[in-house]
Structures are given as structure tokens and as C-alpha cells.
């Protein structure tokens, strides 16, 4: 076989698109539920990850300081977790007016009933009338524009967000049918259902800043220790000598994520027999979290000491994203008869 014949060019990596709202310091729930997966994906796919600050405004439009303060904090958390700007394209949504243009153009052909029927819209507006805004109604279509402008093949989602990818597929299909049936411009993305771990909060409810039950990715070791040591446990284990049941205890969810099988067996047996106290049981969890956080804290310190570098990373990512977005927009404008 000739040398030329053995040279097979590598297939282009499929593009993955995902965003995260800047709603405060990222916590372990964010890390295990999404960010860890992003870090894994970046070497296998052409990943575009963006700060979804417009999306944050669809629900927090009255508290602009929330968005302002959190954007770069979140980028530092991403970099600390191991996102590599050499591998993934990191950018800020509001720096890309191209998304807004595609959103407007797609809005022309998207039936409003598709947005009104979204479960996230109906449920949340029923709970909070302040959300009955045009921006919040249009949020899934803005998300479609975010995805379609990069012709992303895959969108990593939890099962509860699969409906948003589905509406994006419908939007793309309708656009292609109306404007470019012969040579479709907007590919229909697929949901990438990946394995992520759900981590409950310190009180057993969902980990969320609004519940005040989080451990931030960059909490100091002493704070982590204090938070875990004061976590509630099985309410039926009132005294040290009372046997407990890990299934009733929020600490157990942390063991399931952080402890190996041997430690889990030790904790379970010790709990049920009252052979160990709750502080004994919590110690391996504290140690594991502090160990997990150590490289994040070290990397974050470097980035925090050099904010210009972080801005530069976002700048480069934004320009890289813009080149792709502009190309798609040129095609879309031409298909819609706007290329004058």
C-alpha cells in the first residue's frame, strides 16, 4: 500500500453546543450535573459553550446585577473545572448579536402555538405572572437560534430538556421546507443524552442557591467541613446509639457519588448498627470533596490573579464563534431573499 493511500484524513469532529445561565458561583450540583460532562466532551467534539446571559434575563430581567456580577465568575469556574480554551470555544451570548438576528428571522415562520405549549412556559407562568413576558415566551426559540446558528449536531441535555431540542428540530425543519427545501441550510440537532449525576443539596432538596443548601465549587476546605458537619442526617438517629437508615439521610447521596464501594459498605453497616457516629460517617465525604476541589481552587487562583487573561480567552472564543455564526446568517439571509 502506498504511503498516500494510508493517509486517511481524520473525520471532522461533530459540533456540540451548550450554554449555562450565569446565576452565581457554580456549585457541586452544576459540576456533577453538567460541567463535568462538558469537560469530558471537549476532547471528542467541537464544543461551543456559552454564557447564556440573555437567557438569564428572561427570568431575572428585574435584577440586572445578578447577571452583571456573575458572568466572569462563571467563566473562571469553567476554566477551573478543566475546560480548555484550546479545545472548546467559550463565549458570551450577548456579545453575539447574530443570535438575536437569527432569532428574529426564525420568529417569522415559527407558529406561536409551538412556544405557548412548552411545558416550561405554562408551568412557570402559572406560578409567577411576572414571567408572562414576550422574552420568556420566546426563550425556546432563542435557544433554537443559539443552536442552529452553529449548525450544532448535538446538544447535551437532561431528559427534562429534551422538549427544547425537539422544538429546535421543528423550527429547523419548517425553515428548511419554506426557504431551502432543495438544499437545507439548518441541520436538525440531536439530543445528546449523557450520563450525569444528580447531587442533592445539604438538606436533601435539589442543590440550589435559592435554597441556601449548596457547596460552591470554590468553597474553602474549612467551609466545606463546616457545611457537611452541620448537615442534617436521618431524623430518626437522634442519639449516637440509635441505629439509622442511610436511605433517610441526605449524606448518603454524597457517599454514593464520592465514596468507593468499601466506604459505602462501611457507612451503611455502621449506620444501621449504630457502630459509627454521623461525624465519623461524614468525614470521608468531607475528605473527598476537599480533594476534588483542590485542583479547581489552584487553577481558579491563577485565573483570578490574571483577569485580563480570562477576558482574552472569552474574546478569542467570541470571535471564533462569530465567524461561524456570520457564515450561517449569510446563508439564511440569502435563502429568505435578504441578500441585498
Q: Is 208 within any annotated ligand binding site? A: yes
Kindly tell me which of 111 and 275 has the beta carbon lying closer to ligand SF4. Answer: 275
Kindly tell me which of 97 and 275 has the beta carbon lying closer to ligand SF4. Answer: 275
Kindly tell me which of 135 and 200 has the beta carbon lying closer to ligand SF4. Answer: 200
Question: According to CB under 6 A, which residues from 202 to 261 bind ligand SF4?
Answer: 233-234, 237, 244, 246, 249, 251-252
Does 152 participate in binding ligand SF4 (rule CB under 6 A)? no
Binding letters toward ligand SF4, positions 275-314, x by CB under 6 A: -x-x--xx--------------------------------
Q: Is 30 within any annotated ligand binding site? A: yes
Q: Is 122 within any annotated ligand binding site? A: no
Does 271 participate in binding ligand SF4 (rule CB under 6 A)? yes
Please answer whether residues 321 and 94 qualify as being in contact, where contact means their C-beta atoms are separated by less than 8 angstroms.
Answer: no
Tally helices (H) and strands (E) across the chain: 16, 5
> Measured from the CB of residue 266, what is the shortest distance to ligand SF4 in angstroms?
10
Say if strands 15-20 and 46-51 run parallel, antiparallel, or are unpaired: parallel
Kindly tell me which of 145 and 249 has the beta carbon lying closer to ligand SF4. Answer: 249
Q: Is 43 within any annotated ligand binding site? A: no
Phi-psi region of 151 (alpha: psi -120 to 50; beta: other; left: phi over 0): left
Q: Is 327 within any annotated ligand binding site? A: no
Q: Is 20 within any annotated ligand binding site? A: no
Distances (CA, A) of 33 to 105, 201, 218, 228: 33, 13, 16, 20
Task: Tell me the C-alpha distance between 277 and 274, whole Å.
Answer: 7
Q: What number of other Cβ atoms are within 10 A of residue 304's Cβ? A: 14
DSSP 164-228: HHHHHHHHHHHHHHHH-SSS--SPPPEEEE------B-TTSSB--GGGT---BTT--HHHHHHHH
Say if strands 89-92 and 154-157 run parallel, antiparallel, or are unpaired: unpaired
User: Binding-site residues for ATP, please?
Assistant: 21-23, 29-30, 158-160, 199, 206-210
Question: Applying CB under 6 A, which residues contact ligand SF4?
Answer: 233-234, 237, 244, 246, 249, 251-252, 267, 271, 276, 278, 281-282
Amino acid at each position: 500500500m502506498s504511503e498516500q493511500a494510508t493517509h486517511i484524513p481524520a473525520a471532522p469532529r461533530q459540533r456540540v453546543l451548550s450554554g449555562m445561565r450565569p446565576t452565581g458561583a457554580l456549585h457541586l450540583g452544576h459540576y456533577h450535573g453538567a460541567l463535568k460532562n462538558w469537560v469530558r466532551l471537549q476532547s471528542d467534539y467541537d464544543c461551543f459553550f456559552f454564557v447564556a446571559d440573555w437567557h438569564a434575563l428572561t427570568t431575572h430581567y428585574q435584577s440586572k446585577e445578578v447577571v452583571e456580577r456573575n458572568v466572569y465568575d462563571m467563566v473562571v469556574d469553567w476554566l477551573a473545572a478543566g475546560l480548555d480554551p484550546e479545545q472548546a470555544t467559550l463565549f458570551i451570548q450577548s456579545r453575539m448579536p447574530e443570535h438575536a438576528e437569527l432569532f428574529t428571522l426564525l420568529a417569522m415562520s415559527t407558529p406561536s402555538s409551538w412556544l405557548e405549549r412548552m411545558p416550561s412556559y405554562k408551568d412557570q407562568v402559572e406560578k409567577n405572572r411576572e414571567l408572562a413576558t414576550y422574552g420568556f415566551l420566546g426563550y425556546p426559540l432563542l435557544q433554537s437560534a443559539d443552536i442552529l446558528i452553529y449548525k450544532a449536531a448535538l446538544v447535551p441535555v437532561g431528559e427534562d430538556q429534551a422538549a427544547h431540542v425537539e422544538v429546535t428540530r421543528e423550527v429547523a425543519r419548517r425553515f428548511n421546507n419554506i426557504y431551502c427545501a432543495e438544499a437545507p441550510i439548518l441541520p436538525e440537532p440531536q439530543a445528546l443524552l449523557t450520563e450525569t449525576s444528580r447531587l442533592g443539596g445539604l438538606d436533601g432538596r435539589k442543590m440550589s442557591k435559592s435554597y441556601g443548601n449548596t457547596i460552591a465549587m470554590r468553597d474553602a476546605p474549612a467551609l466545606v467541613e463546616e457545611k457537611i458537619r452541620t448537615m442534617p442526617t436521618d431524623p430518626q438517629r437522634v442519639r449516637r446509639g440509635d441505629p439509622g437508615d442511610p436511605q433517610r439521610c441526605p449524606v448518603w447521596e454524597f457517599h454514593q457519588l464520592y465514596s468507593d464501594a468499601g466506604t459505602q459498605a462501611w457507612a451503611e453497616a455502621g449506620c444501621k448498627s449504630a457502630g459509627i457516629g454521623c461525624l465519623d460517617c461524614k468525614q470521608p465525604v468531607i475528605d473527598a470533596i476537599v480533594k476534588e476541589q483542590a485542583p479547581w481552587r489552584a487553577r481558579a487562583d491563577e485565573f483570578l490573579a490574571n483577569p485580563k487573561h480570562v477576558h482574552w480567552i472569552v474574546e478569542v472564543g467570541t470571535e471564533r464563534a462569530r465567524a461561524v455564526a456570520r457564515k450561517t446568517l449569510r446563508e439564511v439571509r440569502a435563502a429568505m431573499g435578504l441578500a441585498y
